[in-house]
Structure 1
Amino acid sequence: MTYSVKEMFYTLQGEGFHTGRPAVFCRFSGCNLWNGREKDRATSICRFCDTDFVGTDGQNGGKFREARELAQRIADFWPADQAHRFVVFTGGEPALQLDETLIAALHDVGFECAVESNGTLPLPPSLDWVCISPKGSAEVVIEACDELKLVFPQADAQPERFSHIHAQHRFLSPLNDWTQAQLSPAQNNNTQACVQYCLEHPQWRLTLQTHKVLNID
């Protein structure tokens, strides 16, 4: 299998349960809920994505023909002789490409493997951490995960809709207005809506995109 990777980099996890944890991010190309073309955004299932996942021309992106080749490239980002190796697969939608062969290759070089997925496709069972982030009206087929991270508010994806999913941790992330370069009144209102919902439903916790606050990748 050839893996198409938009970008890879070493940084701190910016949101969710692992906020602040050093990690290699591997962003796969492609998504099943939006093709990445702006002209098609308004008619897509997911309309608020703020990430470029088209092609392989991003930072350290490319095509990798073998799992061990990609695993070694990921390992090259980690500080020499340091333990606690952690890789986060994201996209686009990583479930379109992520497989057991790649996870096994990374386990062999000491990595804990996590994924951030929209939950519409099956995931390899050997993953060490699964974060599901439902989008719009798309059907979620994953029924159990370590972390459920819901962008809020979404008219077609209210928190109650996912009450059947067994998740160790539940987070609400304020919906960003992708049409505005700076914080808009609507975005601020979304943050306050998240706060209020968490106060009324304490099984949910607030998460913010701290990497944007810190201006890091």
Structure 2
Amino acid sequence: MYSVKEAFYTLQGEGAQAGRASVFCRFTGCNLWSGRERDRAKSQCTFCDTDFVGTDGQNGGQFPDAETLARHLATLWQAPEEANSERYVVFTGGEPLLQLDAALIDAMHVRGFEVAVETNGTLSPPEGIDWICVSPKSDTTLRLTRGNELKLVYPQAGVDPANFAGLDFTHFFLQPMDLSPGAIVSDGDPMAATVGYCLRHPQWRLSLQTHKIAGID
């Protein structure tokens, strides 16, 4: 059984794949925060800006097996048939590796999708994922230390980007912390701090949440 908060067709807004047409599948649940505001202050991730509680979102629900969910996600791809070689699905959350497994990855591959995951890196992934984006959080043990991109929300108390700079990733991004209502963040201006760090350490590149800037989902 897979529990999905929401699923939709949009443009990827962040990181190295920004601007790419994508089907997003947001799983429910996370191992760093319950998703409930009353628990935010004592969670391991206090600044999350995402609703991943329940299955009541757009195209959300519970799916009994990988084939059923894969068929559901494939129907969301809206590009014409000649663009099927570009099919791309992003599994996110919450923490997608609590649910994403080899059966679902295989079912998406059969339907011609490149499979991406956005994870906090505290869990080991199944085989077969084509694009791995790791976004480390403070006070956690990073188990996933290699992949395609490392995207660090910045600044985070107790998190030094230098501690991740030697890991086996192709792309290194700093993303300014979102100042959404309810988020518990460090003092200062996250954008200025992020830009300044990237200028001093050019291994790191600036990642913006372009979907919010463009006003799309």
- Aligned-residue offset at 1:177: 1.9
SS of equivalent to 1:63: strand
Q: CA RMSD in A?
A: 1.5
Q: Distance in 1 between matches of 2:37 and 2:13?
A: 25
Letter aligned with residue 215 of structure 2: N
What does residue 57 of structure 1 align with?
Answer: 56
* Large movers: runs of 4+ above 6 Å: none
Q: How is 1:30-179 mapped onto 2 (pairs within 5 angstroms)?
A: 30-79=29-78, 80-81=80-81, 82-83=83-84, 84-179=86-181
Aligned-residue identity in percent = 57
Q: Distance in 2 between matches of 1:75 and 1:193?
A: 40
- Aligned-residue offset at 1:156: 2.2
Q: Distance in 2 between matches of 1:111 and 1:155?
A: 37
- Aligned-residue offset at 1:180: 6.8
TM-score, length of structure 1 as denominator length: 0.94
Query: What is the total number of aligned residue pairs between the two structures?
Result: 212
- Aligned-residue offset at 1:176: 1.4
Gaps of 5+ in 2: none
Letter aligned with residue 66 of structure 1: D
CA deviation map 1:148-182 (0-9, x unaligned)? 0000001122202223421100000001123379x
Q: Which stretch of structure 1 is more off in the superposition, 151-160 or 108-117? A: 151-160
Gaps of 5+ in 1: none
C-alpha contact (below 8 Å) 1:114/1:130 kept by paired residues: yes
CA deviation map 1:17-64 (0-9, x unaligned)? 000000000000000000011011000000000100001011110000
Residue 10 in structure 1 maps to residue 12 in structure 2 = no
